[in-house]
């Protein structure tokens, strides 16, 4: 799951919702900082304070990822998308195809949810704009074993940039994908990738009900 898939159901709880985004934000700006379940649990005390809500949201993210990444639908969808990228990048022996199969599944799942109800995306960004970035960073530093100074500055930029809306169209999604690839030091994709992304969108949309369904015995 990506930002919106994790948080779209929680726009009425801004700090909880932002907590669901924290692990992905750390991956973007400070990959050495990790928030682990056992370190987060003591702060999620149910008190409804911003700190407790953030911690609970982080736990929700970690829980979501734990079931999402082992579902048959995730394996099937990422496999199909990886095969598409391998056909496109036929002479490329780098890990781009499998990496892209994974992240494009997640970004397109966000796109499907956003296009179903654009108003929820507005509510998502509104909720994000209501939180105190310094509180978010201080809470993360109380959880993580290594502190960060990069998270608080990212939050207003996240709201300003509104890049989640770009996932809906193949052309703008390609721009965002190439930004990610440059960040992880992989070669960007060619312009013709937009055709592949349109096909991939259809695959993800068809699989969305299964992708969003926790397996039996897993709490959503």
Domain carrying residue 107: 3-211
In a domain, 220, yes or no: no
In a domain, 217, yes or no: no
Distance of alpha carbon 47 from alpha carbon 45, whole angstroms:
6
Residue 4 scores a pLDDT above 70: yes
- The number of angstroms, rounded, from the C-alpha of 132 to the middle of its chain's C-alpha atoms is 21
Residue 220 scores a pLDDT above 60: no
Q: What is the pLDDT of residue 209?
A: 96
Q: What is the pLDDT of residue 218?
A: 58
Each residue's pLDDT tens digit, 58-82:
999 999 999 999 999 999 999 999 9
Mention every residue, 6+ apart, whose C-beta is less than 8 A from residue 147. Answer: 33, 141
Q: Structurally, how many domains does the chain consist of? A: 1
In a domain, 216, yes or no: no
Q: State the DSSP string of 39-74.
A: HHGGG--S--SHHHHHHHHHHHHHHHHHHHTTSHHH
Can you tell me the mean pLDDT for 186-210?
Answer: 96
In a domain, 28, yes or no: yes
Q: What is the pLDDT of residue 66?
A: 94
3-state DSSP call for residue 136? Answer: helix
55 versus 186: the higher-pLDDT residue is 55
Burial category of 46 from C-beta neighbours within 10 Å (exposed 0-12, middle 13-18, buried 19 and up): exposed
In a domain, 218, yes or no: no
Q: Say if pTM beats, i.e. exceeds, 0.85.
A: yes
The per-residue pLDDT of the chain, averaged, comes to 95
Distance of alpha carbon 199 from alpha carbon 138, whole angstroms:
42
What proportion of the chain, given as a percentage, has pLDDT over 90? 91
Q: State the DSSP string of 147-181.
A: --SSHHHHHHHHHHH-GGGGGSSHHHHHHHHHHHH
Q: What is the pLDDT of residue 96?
A: 85
Q: What is the pLDDT of residue 111?
A: 98
Q: What is the pLDDT of residue 91?
A: 80
Can you tell me the mean pLDDT for 5-18?
Answer: 97
In a domain, 219, yes or no: no
Residue 214 scores a pLDDT above 90: no
187 versus 197: the higher-pLDDT residue is 197
Kindly indicate the confidence band of residue 219, based on its pLDDT and cuts at 50, 70 and 90. low
In a domain, 145, yes or no: yes
In this structure, what token pair is assigned to residue 141?
A: 């530093």
Dihedral of the alpha carbons of 50, 131, 136, 48, in degrees to the nearest 10? 10
């Amino acid at each position: 799951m990506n930002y919106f898939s994790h948080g779209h159901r929680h726009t009425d709880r801004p700090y909880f919702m932002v907590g669901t985004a924290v692990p992905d934000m750390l991956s973007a700006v400070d990959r050495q900082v990790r928030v682990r379940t056992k370190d987060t649990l003591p702060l999620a005390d149910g008190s409804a304070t911003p700190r407790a809500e953030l911690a609970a949201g982080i736990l929700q993210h970690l829980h979501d990822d734990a079931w999402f990444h082992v579902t048959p639908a995730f394996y099937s969808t990422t496999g199909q998308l990886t095969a598409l990228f391998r056909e496109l990048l036929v002479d490329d022996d780098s890990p781009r195809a499998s990496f892209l199969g994974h992240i494009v599944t997640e970004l397109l799942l966000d796109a499907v949810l956003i296009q179903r109800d654009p108003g929820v995306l507005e509510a998502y960004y509104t909720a994000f704009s209501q939180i105190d970035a310094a509180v978010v960073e201080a809470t993360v530093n109380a959880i993580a074993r290594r502190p960060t100074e990069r998270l608080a500055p990212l939050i207003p930029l996240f709201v300003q940039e509104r890049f989640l809306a770009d996932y809906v169209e193949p052309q703008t999604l390609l721009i965002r994908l190439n930004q990610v690839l440059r960040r992880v030091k992989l070669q960007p994709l060619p312009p013709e990738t937009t055709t592949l992304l349109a096909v991939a969108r259809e695959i993800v949309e068809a699989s969305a009900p299964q992708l969003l369904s926790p397996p039996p015995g897993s709490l959503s």
